[in-house]
Amino acid sequence: MNNRSSFLSRDPAWSANLFFGRQNALNWIEDKLGRDTPQNCNITAEPRQGKTSFLHHIYEQKIGLRDGAKGLYVWVRLVELSDFDSLSFWRFMIERFNTAVSKAGLEPIEDIDDLTSPNELFDELDEAVEMLVEDGQLDLVVFVIDDFDVLIPTLTSRDLDWLRAIANRYRETMAFVIGSTDSLVSLTEQIVRRESGDSSQAISPFANFFHNVSLGLLAQSEAIALCECANDLETAVSLNEDDIQFLLQEAGRHPDLLKMGLGHLISAKQLSDPDEIYEDTSGDLRFDDQVKGLSRQLFDRLSAEEKSVISALAKGEDEGEVDRILLNRLKRHVGLIEKRNGRMVPFADSFNYWITRFSNEQTPQQAEQLQAEEEEMFEYIQEQRTVKLANGTMVRLTPLENRLLVYFIDHANQVCTIGDLLKNVWGPNKSRAVVEKAVNRLRTKIETDPKRPRYILSARGEGYLLRYEAA
C-alpha cells in the first residue's frame, strides 16, 4: 500500500510518518512518563478518534524516555486475543513482553507453554520485570495496553490486584499506559460491582493509580495540517483553502470522519462538474454507510440526557437552557460538540445531519418516557433524614450524607467548591478525598446510575453542582 492510500485508510497509523497531530496529549504523556517516578496513564477516546494510533506512536517512538536512558516499551493490543479471559490475558502479556525483550537483545521468559494458570503466568512476568529492574539493565519499562475494554466481562478483581501489585512494586522504573473507550474508573467499577454486588464498593484501587486524559477532536491547526498532508500526497487533484474550510465544516476535526471527507472530496473533484463538487461531496459523505455507522455509534454511547442535549443543539435550539457541565463534557471529554459562530453545535455538519435523524427516530412513547425521566426528582424528607426516589423507594441517609445533601439543596443549581464543602460540612483538617468519597456514597443512594449522575454533577476543577427543584 502506497503512502497516499495508507494515509487516507481507516486503519491505525502503524508508522510515525502516517501519524498526525495530538501534540498536546503527547506532551502530557512525555511529562508523565519522563518523571523520576514515571506515572501510569489512562488514555480515553470515543470510537475512531485515533486512540490506537496514538498509543502505538507512544510505543514506537518511546515517548517519555529521557535522552541517554535505556527503555523497554511493550506493545499489547488486546483485540488480538483469541479469548478474552484471565489466562489468555496473562499469557499474551508475557508473549508481548518476550517480543519486546528479544528485540532489545535481552533474555525472554522461557517455557511459557508449561504454565497453565494465571497465577503462574503472573509470577513469571513479575519475576522477569524484577530481574530487569534489579540488574539495572533498564531505566524505564512501559507497558502500552490498548483496548482494555474487551477484558471487562471476564477480568477479575484478582487480575486488577496483580496489575496494581506490579505497578506499585516497580513504580520507580515501570509504568502502564492503558487505552480504553471508557475510563478505567468506570471499567473497573463494573468488575467490582459484578463480584461484590455492593454499590458502595465501586472503585478498584487499581484505577486510582492512573492519571487520565481524553483525546477528543483534533486541534484546528492539526486538522488543517492533515488536509494539507493529504493534498501533498495526492497527484490527481489539488485542494485549495476553500476546499479545506469546506471539509472542516462538513467533516469536522474528527480524524476518521475528516479522512473520509477527504476521500469523497478528492473523488468529487475528479468526477463532478466544478459547480457541483461541494454539493456532491456533502451528499456522498452524509450517505456513506461508514459515516452513518460511526455517527450511530457515537450517538448511542451517550446517556439519555446527553442525547437530549446534543439533539437540541443539532436542531439549533438555544444552548442557554443546557447545563454548562454537560456542555463541557460533550466538548472537552467526549469531543462531539464545538463552538462555531458563537454557539455550541455538533462537531460536523454531516454528524449533525444524522443526529437530527436519530433523535427523530424516537416513538411518541419513548419521547413521553424521556420527558418523564427528565422531570423526575427525588424528594428530601428532612425530619426523617430520608430521600424518596422517583420510583417510590425510601433511602435512609447517614448523618454525614444528610449534612452534605442539605448543603447541596441550600445551594441547589450552584457550583459548590471543595473548599466550601470542607468548610461547611466537615470543618477544618480534612482533605479533598473525604469529599469525593462522601459524594460517591451519596450518588449511589440517590442516582439511578451513579456512573452517569443526573443530580450531583461534577464541575471539573471546582467541585460539584446539585441539579434540584424542590417539590
Q: Say which DSSP state 65 is in.
A: P
In this structure, is residue 369 part of a structural domain?
yes
pLDDT band at residue 197 using 50, 70 and 90 as cut-offs: low
Q: How many helices (H) and strands (E) does the chain have?
A: 19, 13
The CATH number given to whatever domain includes residue 130 is: 3.40.50.300
Examine the domain organization and report whether 95 and 129 are in the same domain: yes
Examine the domain organization and report whether 210 and 238 are in the same domain: no
- Give pLDDT tens digits for 76-119: 999 998 888 899 999 999 999 999 999 999 989 888 888 889 99
Domain-ending residue, one of 353, 374, 395: 374
Q: Say which DSSP state 141 is in.
A: E
Q: Is 296 helix (H, G, I), strand (E, B) or coil?
A: helix
pLDDT score at 361: 75
In this structure, is residue 140 part of a structural domain?
yes
Number of domains composing the chain = 4
Q: Cell numbers 456542555 correspond to what residue? A: 327
Examine the domain organization and report whether 306 and 319 are in the same domain: yes
Q: How far apart are CA 156 and CA 172, in angstroms?
A: 26
pLDDT score at 219: 93
Distances (CA, A) of 329 to 305, 344, 347, 431: 12, 12, 14, 26
- Give pLDDT tens digits for 363-389: 555 555 555 555 567 888 888 889 888
pLDDT band at residue 204 using 50, 70 and 90 as cut-offs: confident
Return the sign of the alpha-carbon dihedral for residues 327, 302, 86, 71: negative
In this structure, is residue 346 part of a structural domain?
yes
Q: Residue 260: pLDDT above 70?
A: yes
In this structure, is residue 471 part of a structural domain?
no
pLDDT score at 1: 43
Examine the domain organization and report whether 367 and 384 are in the same domain: no
In this structure, is residue 114 part of a structural domain?
yes
In this structure, is residue 422 part of a structural domain?
yes
pLDDT score at 450: 80
For residue 309, the tally of other CB atoms under 10 A from its CB is 24
Q: Cell numbers 477484558 correspond to what residue? A: 151
In this structure, is residue 442 part of a structural domain?
yes
Task: Name every residue whose Cβ is closer than 8 Å to that of residue 459 and which is 6 or more positions away in sequence.
Answer: 325, 415, 465
Q: What is the 3-state secondary structure (H, E, C) of 319-382?
A: HHHCCHHHHHHHHHHCCCEEEECCEEEECCHHHHHHHHHHHHCCCHHHHHHHHHHHHCCCEEEH
Q: Which three cell numbers stand for residue 114?
A: 508449561
Q: Which of 98-107, 183-192, 315-324 has the lowest mean pLDDT?
A: 315-324
Examine the domain organization and report whether 60 and 208 are in the same domain: yes
Q: Answer for the pair 173, 133: CB distance below 8 angstroms, yes or no.
A: yes
Q: How far apart are CA 315 and CA 343, in angstroms?
A: 12
Return the sign of the alpha-carbon dihedral for residues 57, 62, 63, 67: negative
What is the maximum alpha-carbon separation in the chain? Answer: 76
Strand ranges across the sheet with 174-180: 71-77, 140-146, 174-180, 40-44, 210-214
The CATH number given to whatever domain includes residue 431 is: 1.10.10.10
Q: How far apart are CA 412 and CA 173, in angstroms?
A: 46
Examine the domain organization and report whether 205 and 323 are in the same domain: no
Examine the domain organization and report whether 228 and 348 are in the same domain: no
Average pLDDT of the residues in 31-46: 95
Examine the domain organization and report whether 51 and 185 are in the same domain: yes
Q: How far apart are CA 35 and CA 172, in angstroms?
A: 9
Examine the domain organization and report whether 357 and 232 are in the same domain: no
Domain-ending residue, one of 214, 247, 275: 214
Q: Is 14 helix (H, G, I), strand (E, B) or coil?
A: coil
Length of the chain equals 471
Which residue range is the domain that position 442 belongs to?
376-466
Examine the domain organization and report whether 272 and 342 are in the same domain: no
Q: Which three cell numbers stand for residue 204?
A: 478498584
Examine the domain organization and report whether 200 and 225 are in the same domain: no
pLDDT score at 212: 93
In this structure, is residue 349 part of a structural domain?
yes
Backbone dihedral angles phi then psi of residue 176, each to the nearest 5 degrees:
-105, 140
Domain-ending residue, one of 374, 390, 407: 374
Examine the domain organization and report whether 276 and 365 are in the same domain: no
Q: Which of 161-175, 243-257, 359-373, 402-416 has the lowest mean pLDDT?
A: 359-373
Range with top average pLDDT, 106-120, 198-212, 265-279, 455-469:
265-279
Task: Name every residue whose Cβ is closer than 8 Å to that of residue 245 and which is 6 or more positions away in sequence.
Answer: none
Q: Is 18 helix (H, G, I), strand (E, B) or coil?
A: helix
